[in-house]
Structure 1
Amino acid sequence: MRLLSKPFPPRAGGFLALVMIVLLTFPATQPLHAKTLSTTAPTLAPFEAAPLSIGVSWYPEQWPESQWEADLALMRRAGVSVVRLGEFAWARLEPRDGEFDFGWIDRAVALAGRHGIRVVLGTPTAAPPVWLTEAHPDVLRVNEDGSVEGHGERRQFSFASATYRRYTVRIAGEMARRYGRNPDVVGWQIDNEIGVPSFDREAKARWARWLTARYGTVEELNRRWTTDYWSQRYQRFDQVPLKSKGPQNPALLLDFKRFASFLWAEYVDEQAAAIRTHADRRQFVTTNSTAWNNNFDQYLVHRGLDLAAWDDYVPNGRPDWTANALHHDVVRGYRQRNFWIMETQPGRVDWGALNRSLDPGQTRELAWQAVGRGADAILYWQWRSALNGQEQYHGTLVGPDGQPMPVFDEIARTAREMAAMSRWLKDTQPEKAEVALLYSQESRWAIEAERHSRDYDPVATITDWYRPFADDGYRVDVLPPDADLAGYRLVVAPNLNILSGDTAERLKAYVERGGHLVLGPRSGMKDGDNALWPMRQPGPLGTSLGGRVGYYYPLDGPVAMSAIFGDTTAHIWGEVLEPVADDTKVLGRFGSDQGWLSGQPALLRRKVGRGSIAYLGAILDQQGQGRFTRWMITEAAVPRPLMTPVDGVEFMTRARGAERFIIAVNHGETAKRISLPAGAGWLHSDDVQGDMLRPHGVALAHVKHGTR
Structure 2
Amino acid sequence: MPTLPPSTPSDVLRYGVAWYPEHWPEDRWPEDLRLMREAGINTVRICDFAWSTLEPADGVFELDLFERAIEQAAEFGMKVIIATPTASPPAWLTAAHPDTLAVNQDGVRSPHGGRCHYNVGSATYRQFASRIAGKLGERFGPYPQVIGWQIDNEYNRASYDAETRLRFQDFLRGRYGTLDELNRRWWTRYWSQSYSDWGQIPLPIFPSTEHPWMVHNPALRLDFQRFITQLYATYQHEQIAAIRPHARLEQVFTHNFMGFFDLFDHYALSDELDVAGFDNYIGDGHLDFIRNGAEHDLTRGLKRRNYWVLETQAGATNHMTTNNALNMGEIRSLVYHQIGHGADLISYWQWRSALGGQEQYWGTVLHPDGTPRPHYAEIAQIGAELSQLSPHLIGTTPVSAVALLHRYEDRWALNFHRQHEDFDPIGHLLSYYRPLREAGIGTDIVHPLAPLEGYRLVVAPHLHGLTPEIYEHLSSYLRGGGHLIIGPRSGVKDDDNALLPSKQPGKLAEWAGVEVEQYFSLHQPAAIVGMLGSGQASIWAERLGVRADDVEVLARYGPSNGWLDGQAAVTTRAVGAGRVTVVGAWLDAELMQSVMAAALQRSGVQTALTPPPGVEVCRRSGAAGEVTVIINHSATPQTIQLPAAHDALGGQQVSGDTRLEPYGVLVLTGQLERDLTLRPDAEPVLAGGGQ
Q: Are 2:7 and 2:305, in contact at CA under 8 Å, matched by a contact in 1?
A: no
Shift of 1:46: 9.6
> Take 1:441 and 1:359, find their aligned partners in 2: how far apart are those partners?
34
Shift of 1:557: 2.4
The answer for the alignment partner of 2:127 in structure 1 is: 166
Answer yes or no: is 1:602 the counterpart of 2:569: yes
Counterpart residue identity of residue 317, structure 1 = G
The answer for the alignment partner of 1:656 in structure 2 is: 622
Alignment of 1:633-652 (within 5 A): 633-638=600-605, 640-652=606-618
The answer for the alignment partner of 2:329 in structure 1 is: 361
The answer for the alignment partner of 2:650 in structure 1 is: 685
Q: Are 1:397 and 1:404, in contact at CA under 8 Å, matched by a contact in 2?
A: yes
Distance 1:239 1:219, change over 3 A: same
Q: What's the CA shift string for 1:391-425, capped at 9, x where partnerless?
A: 11110111110111121111111111001111211
Alignment of 1:252-263 (within 5 A): 252-263=220-231
Shift of 1:355: 0.8
The answer for the alignment partner of 2:94 in structure 1 is: 133
Shift of 1:606: 2.2
Secondary structure of 1:484's partner? coil
> Take 1:376 and 1:50, find their aligned partners in 2: how far apart are those partners?
11
Shift of 1:556: 2.1
Q: Are 1:317 and 1:348, in contact at CA under 8 Å, matched by a contact in 2?
A: no
Counterpart residue identity of residue 140, structure 1 = L
> Take 1:188 and 1:511, find their aligned partners in 2: how far apart are those partners?
41
Quick check: 604-613 or 186-195, which moved more? 604-613
Q: Are 1:687 and 1:699, in contact at CA under 8 Å, matched by a contact in 2?
A: no
> Take 2:555 and 2:76, find their aligned partners in 1: how far apart are those partners?
63
Secondary structure of 1:304's partner? coil
The answer for the alignment partner of 1:556 in structure 2 is: 523
The answer for the alignment partner of 1:221 in structure 2 is: 182
Q: Are 1:53 and 1:415, in contact at CA under 8 Å, matched by a contact in 2?
A: no
The answer for the alignment partner of 1:495 in structure 2 is: 462
Secondary structure of 1:402's partner? coil
> Take 2:666 and 2:414, find their aligned partners in 1: how far apart are those partners?
41
The answer for the alignment partner of 1:534 in structure 2 is: 501
Q: Are 2:627 and 2:671, in contact at CA under 8 Å, matched by a contact in 1?
A: no
User: 1:195 aligned to 148, 156, 164, which one?
Assistant: 156
Answer yes or no: is 1:443 the counterpart of 2:404: no
Answer yes or no: is 1:666 the counterpart of 2:632: yes
Alignment of 1:178-577 (within 5 A): 178-245=139-206, 246=212, 247-431=215-399, 433-577=400-544
Quick check: 125-134 or 48-57, which moved more? 48-57
The answer for the alignment partner of 1:105 in structure 2 is: 66
Distance 1:46 1:485, change over 3 A: closer
The answer for the alignment partner of 2:685 in structure 1 is: none
- Percent of aligned pairs with the same amino acid: 44
Secondary structure of 1:270's partner? helix
Q: Are 2:523 and 2:539, in contact at CA under 8 Å, matched by a contact in 1?
A: yes
> Take 2:671 and 2:168, find their aligned partners in 1: how far apart are those partners?
56
Secondary structure of 2:524's partner? coil
Counterpart residue identity of residue 328, structure 1 = H
> Take 1:355 and 1:645, find their aligned partners in 2: how far apart are those partners?
30
Q: What's the CA shift string for 1:551-573, capped at 9, x where partnerless?
A: 11111222110133111111111
Secondary structure of 1:624's partner? helix
Answer yes or no: is 1:86 the counterpart of 2:52: no
The answer for the alignment partner of 1:9 in structure 2 is: none
Quick check: 539-548 or 481-490, which moved more? 539-548
* Root mean square deviation of aligned Cα: 1.8
Shift of 1:504: 1.1
Q: Are 1:687 and 1:698, in contact at CA under 8 Å, matched by a contact in 2?
A: no
> Take 1:234 and 1:168, find their aligned partners in 2: how far apart are those partners?
35
Structure 2, unpaired ranges of 5+: 207-211, 676-691
* TM-score, normalisation: structure 1: 0.91
Counterpart residue identity of residue 555, structure 2 = G
Q: What's the CA shift string for 1:39-64, capped at 9, x where partnerless?
A: xxxxx999532511221111111122
The answer for the alignment partner of 1:65 in structure 2 is: 26
Quick check: 524-533 or 690-699, which moved more? 690-699
Quick check: 225-234 or 571-580, which moved more? 571-580
Q: What's the CA shift string for 1:264-311, capped at 9, x where partnerless?
A: 111111111222111001111101011211100000000111111111
Counterpart residue identity of residue 428, structure 2 = T
Distance 1:688 1:68, change over 3 A: farther
> Take 1:76 and 1:703, find their aligned partners in 2: how far apart are those partners?
30
> Take 2:115 and 2:11, find their aligned partners in 1: how far apart are those partners?
31
Q: What's the CA shift string for 1:498-548, capped at 9, x where partnerless?
A: 111210121122112211111111011111111110101111212222221
Structure 1, unpaired ranges of 5+: 1-43
> Take 2:311 and 2:489, find their aligned partners in 1: how far apart are those partners?
35
Shift of 1:318: 1.3
Counterpart residue identity of residue 224, structure 1 = R
Answer yes or no: is 1:616 the counterpart of 2:583: yes
Alignment of 1:134-149 (within 5 A): 134-149=95-110
Shift of 1:451: 0.6
Q: What's the CA shift string for 1:431-486, capped at 9, x where partnerless?
A: 2x111100111100001111100111100011111000000010011100111111
> Take 1:706 and 1:495, find their aligned partners in 2: how far apart are those partners?
35
The answer for the alignment partner of 1:31 in structure 2 is: none
